[in-house]
């Protein structure tokens, strides 16, 4: 196992800057997810670790060695591809054992090792089949087996679960988490699925337009999203963001928006500083922190019922405010809610996230680090 580091790495394809000057340090034994929408540069970053792309500038380090211009075969890494890249003309045994074949292992030894790994992944009984003769889930595990069959310094995953159906994806995700606990491998995992990233990563690097927006443990990404972009990308459903007019007075802050009634918030250094750049802030509240309002709730948002999706344990209740913007709440269905056409949702002041006019999070004064 080894650490991975990006030093001022940029990659452009012609005029298009896929990755702009990123710095990222991945510790030995860490499972880091690169999370972001399509085209944010996450796959390009992964491919630069693999050696399948060469940075336009900057350095890529593995285990302290500069590998920027090293051929993939000399990097001692393994990678699981999104399309699995199983060789259609080889049976599973030969597919899994291929990395050992190019390392010059004898047939008996490499097939023995392939069988061991395949047994762990419950595909040991399929070794004579061709990739076209097994199911999608089995193909995925075969490509995982091929990555695990030889000792590797870093394990790279390029959206390995995106071609699986929902149930298999959950199962495979659990297995990957178990594997990480078991092996303590250094892994870099590319995904656009925030739930996958939250479930697997020790740290998540959220990327947007070729830049790393936030690099932190999942709990911090969830509780203290650095920008409105992160807040809107992480969470299921994502955080509700409402533009608000900020009015300052008497050491207090009043926030105004259509359909919103919120008690005065105490002023802080962070808020004061943010107001210097603009008076329009963004208020964020996660759907799971919204409740159906009762008498006397201090902070409320109201509107017309737009949708009510019952998911079993919870319902997603979406309301449309007077200005047409929507707010979604996750309401536990145990609460036996009766919804009328007009719905008012309430939230606690401690669950309020504030972002300045540029979309950056406004920190609370003397914020304690998250455990």
- Distance CA(34)–CA(158), nearest Å, equals 10
Neighbours of 67 (CB within 10 A): 23
Q: Which stretch binds other proteins (CB under 8 A): 15-23, 59-67, 142-150, 313-321?
A: 142-150
The size of the interface with other proteins (CB under 8 A), counted in residues, is 33
Question: Do the strands 299-310 and 353-355 form a parallel or antiparallel pair, or are they unpaired?
Answer: unpaired
**Residue-wise DSSP of 263-293:** PPEEP-HHHHHHHHH-SEEEEEE-GGG-EE-
Q: How far is the CB of 143 from other proteins (least distance, A)?
A: 8
- Distance CA(229)–CA(239), nearest Å, equals 10
Q: How far is the CB of 48 from other proteins (least distance, A)?
A: 13
Query: Is 139 a binder of other proteins (CB under 8 A)?
Result: yes
Q: Which residues between 158 and 187 bind other proteins (CB under 8 A)?
A: 163
* Per-residue buried b or exposed e for 198-215, using 16+ beta carbons within 10 Å of the residue's own CB: bebbebbbbbbebebbbb
Binding to other proteins by CB under 8 A, coded x per residue (else -) over 291-330, reads ----------------------------------------
CB 247 within 8 A of CB 254: yes
User: In the chain, helix, strand, coil percent, each to 5?
Assistant: 30, 35, 35
Q: How far is the CB of 150 from other proteins (least distance, A)?
A: 8
Closer residue to other proteins, CB minimum distance, 38 or 132: 132
- Distance CA(7)–CA(112), nearest Å, equals 40
Query: Is 132 a binder of other proteins (CB under 8 A)?
Result: yes
Binding to other proteins by CB under 8 A, coded x per residue (else -) over 29-68, reads ---------------------xxx----------------
Binding to other proteins by CB under 8 A, coded x per residue (else -) over 71-90, reads xxx-x-xxx-xxxxxxxxx-
- Distance CA(87)–CA(285), nearest Å, equals 48
Q: How far is the CB of 292 from other proteins (least distance, A)?
A: 44
Q: Strands across the sheet with 252-256, in order? A: 265-266, 252-256, 240-249, 280-285, 353-355
Closer residue to other proteins, CB minimum distance, 78 or 282: 78
Query: Is 118 a binder of other proteins (CB under 8 A)?
Result: no
- Distance CA(100)–CA(225), nearest Å, equals 43
Query: Is 146 a binder of other proteins (CB under 8 A)?
Result: yes
Q: Is the peptide bond before 237 cis (omega within 30 degrees of 0)?
A: yes
Q: Which residues between 345 and 364 bind other proteins (CB under 8 A)?
A: none
Q: Which stretch binds other proteins (CB under 8 A): 129-137, 230-238, 255-263, 324-332?
A: 129-137
Query: Is 136 a binder of other proteins (CB under 8 A)?
Result: yes
Q: How far is the CB of 71 from other proteins (least distance, A)?
A: 7
User: CA distances (Å), 293 to each of 10, 243, 252, 324, 338, in order?
Assistant: 49, 21, 24, 20, 12
Closer residue to other proteins, CB minimum distance, 77 or 281: 77
Residue with tokens 């802080």: 268
Query: Is 98 a binder of other proteins (CB under 8 A)?
Result: yes
Tell me which residues touch other proteins (CB under 8 A): 50-52, 71-73, 75, 77-79, 81-89, 98-99, 101-103, 131-132, 136, 139, 143, 146, 150, 156, 163
């Amino acid at each position: 196992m080894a650490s991975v580091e990006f030093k001022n790495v940029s990659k452009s394809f012609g005029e298009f800057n896929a990755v702009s000057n990123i710095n990222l340090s991945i510790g030995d034994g860490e499972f880091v997810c690169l999370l972001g929408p399509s085209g944010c540069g996450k796959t390009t970053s992964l491919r630069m670790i693999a050696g399948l792309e060469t940075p336009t500038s900057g350095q890529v380090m593995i285990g302290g060695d500069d590998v920027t211009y090293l051929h993939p075969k000399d990097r001692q890494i393994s990678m699981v591809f999104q399309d699995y890249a199983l060789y259609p003309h080889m049976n599973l045994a030969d597919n899994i054992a291929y990395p050992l074949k190019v390392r010059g292992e004898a047939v008996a030894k490499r097939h023995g090792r392939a069988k061991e790994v395949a047994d762990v992944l419950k595909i040991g009984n399929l070794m004579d089949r061709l990739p076209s003769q097994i199911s999608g889930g089995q193909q995925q595990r075969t490509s995982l087996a091929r990555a695990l069959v030889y000792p590797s310094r870093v394990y790279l995953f390029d959206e390995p679960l995106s071609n699986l159906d929902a149930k298999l994806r959950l199962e495979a995700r659990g297995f990957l988490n178990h594997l990480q606990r078991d092996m303590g491998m250094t892994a870099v995992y590319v995904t656009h699925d925030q739930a996958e990233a939250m479930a697997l990563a020790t740290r998540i690097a959220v990327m947007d337009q070729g830049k790393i927006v936030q690099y932190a443990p999942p709990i911090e990404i969830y509780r203290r999203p650095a920008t409105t972009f992160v807040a809107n990308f992480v969470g299921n459903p994502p955080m509700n963001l409402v533009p608000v007019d900020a009015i300052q007075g008497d050491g207090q802050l009043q926030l105004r928006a259509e359909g919103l009634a919120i008690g005065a918030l105490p002023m802080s250094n962070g808020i004061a500083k943010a107001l210097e750049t603009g008076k329009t802030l963004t208020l964020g509240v996660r759907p799971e922190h919204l409740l159906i309002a009762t008498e006397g709730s201090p902070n409320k948002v109201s509107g017309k019922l737009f949708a009510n999706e019952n998911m079993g344990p919870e319902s997603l209740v979406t309301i449309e405010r007077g200005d047409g913007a929507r707010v979604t709440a996750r309401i536990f269905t145990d609460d036996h809610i009766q919804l009328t056409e007009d719905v008012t949702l309430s939230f606690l002041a401690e669950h309020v996230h504030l972002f300045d006019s540029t979309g950056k999070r406004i920190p609370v004064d003397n914020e304690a680090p998250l455990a």
